[in-house]
Homo-oligomer: A and B are copies of this chain.
Amino acid sequence: MNKNYKVVGIGNAIVDVLAKCSDEFLISKGIEKGIMQLIDTPRAAEIYNSMDAGVEISGGSAANTISGIGTVGIKTAFVGKVKDDQLGRIFAHDIRAQGVAFNTPMVSSDSDDETGRSMILVSPDGERSMNTYLGVANQLNVTDIDPDLMADTDWLYLEGYLFDRPDSQAAFIRAVELCNGAGGQSSLSLSDPFCVERHREAFQDLIANHINMLFCNEHELLSMYGGKSLNEAIEVGAQYVDILVCTAGAEGAYIASGGETIHVSANPVNVVDATGAGDLFAAGFLAGLSQNKDLEVCGKMGCVAAAEVISSMGARPKNNLQDLFDINKL
């Protein structure tokens, strides 16, 4: 049966506020480098009031992935919650402009909460530290899961961060059941090692029972399944899914499937801002799968897309990904 969408993503709809900062600034504000921290309104004000002038770019982990796939001309949709406010309208414009169907009902402009945002502080080494105020992204729930859409996609792509709220976790499970029940497959991104720590058992259950393909990085995988080495963790994780995709920073990525593990090398690049590296790796990989490439080529496409996004500020690609795949003969 031919489905209308190749990939449908579900995640937090977020606008990024990016600014450079010094290592001293991170220390003085008690911000842990390289991870995502959920913050409340007073903490958001505290950080914003002392941080440098920013640049606003639509973000959100799964949204970055889906819009990356969308720019390749592959049919995709995104499900996530924004408010009918200025940042919400910016988010909706941007993801649609990148070719993605986006029809999740907006939260009314009367709501006290605003569209979610993440203050992303980029230190001189190119590493990013994310301080996320979820706002109305919090309000995603099962009523936002359109059964027709879930049944009409080859792949579902789920953002692990949604496990931080029971309502969105329930939406998540419902989406997977609907997609898989209609013959589709489901993939999950683990998002962040601390997100894994917060929800390890729930994730393990979901993966074992419903997930066909798992995206993660080395830290998330080790946090999830333990093991003395990355190889060991890959071996354990690969038992639960058809395809395990584990990125490893400058080492590239490992793809484990059918008892074999393939290694692909990262593309050399000057890291300006690591924001979105994992998101865009997944975009390249899923674009490859949608174009029926073999797993090694999918991995290389992931590396090309990741290299593109980390060579400039922000988590959305500046250049057309298909052009980059063509240049690299992928």
Of residues A48, A51, A93, A95, which shows the largest number of chain B Cβ atoms within 10 Å of its Cβ?
A93
- Chain B residues with Cβ below 8 Å from A48 are 93
- Measured CB to CB, the closest approach of chain B to A49, in angstroms, equals 8
Number of interface residues of A (CB under 8 A): 26
Among A34-42, A82-90, A136-144, the one that faces the other chain is A82-90
Contact status A97-B51, CB under 8 Å: yes
Copies in the complex: 2
The CA-CA distance from A56 to B94 in the complex, in Å, is: 11
User: Are A57 and B58 CB-contacts (below 8 A) given A48-B93, A86-B85, A114-B86?
Assistant: no
The CA-CA distance from A242 to B40 in the complex, in Å, is: 54
User: Are A314 and B55 CB-contacts (below 8 A) given A86-B86, A114-B86?
Assistant: yes
A204 at interface by CB-CB < 8 Å: no
- Measured CB to CB, the closest approach of chain B to A243, in angstroms, equals 29
A6 at interface by CB-CB < 8 Å: no
Of residues A53, A58, A90, A97, which shows the largest number of chain B Cβ atoms within 10 Å of its Cβ?
A53
User: Are A97 and B52 CB-contacts (below 8 A) given A85-B86, A86-B86, A114-B86?
Assistant: yes
The CA-CA distance from A53 to B93 in the complex, in Å, is: 7
Chain A contacts with B in 83-123, Cβ cutoff 8 A: 85-87, 90, 93-95, 97-98, 114-115
User: Are A98 and B53 CB-contacts (below 8 A) given A86-B114, A93-B48?
Assistant: yes
Contact status B86-A54, CB under 8 Å: no
Secondary structure class of chain A's binding surface, majority of residues:
mixed
- Measured CB to CB, the closest approach of chain B to A121, in angstroms, equals 13
- Measured CB to CB, the closest approach of chain B to A119, in angstroms, equals 11
A67 at interface by CB-CB < 8 Å: yes
Chain A contacts with B in 288-330, Cβ cutoff 8 A: 314, 316
The CA-CA distance from A52 to B70 in the complex, in Å, is: 13
- Chain B residues with Cβ below 8 Å from A53 are 58, 67, 93-95, 97-98, 316
Chain A contacts with B in 17-44, Cβ cutoff 8 A: 17, 19
Contact status A90-B316, CB under 8 Å: no
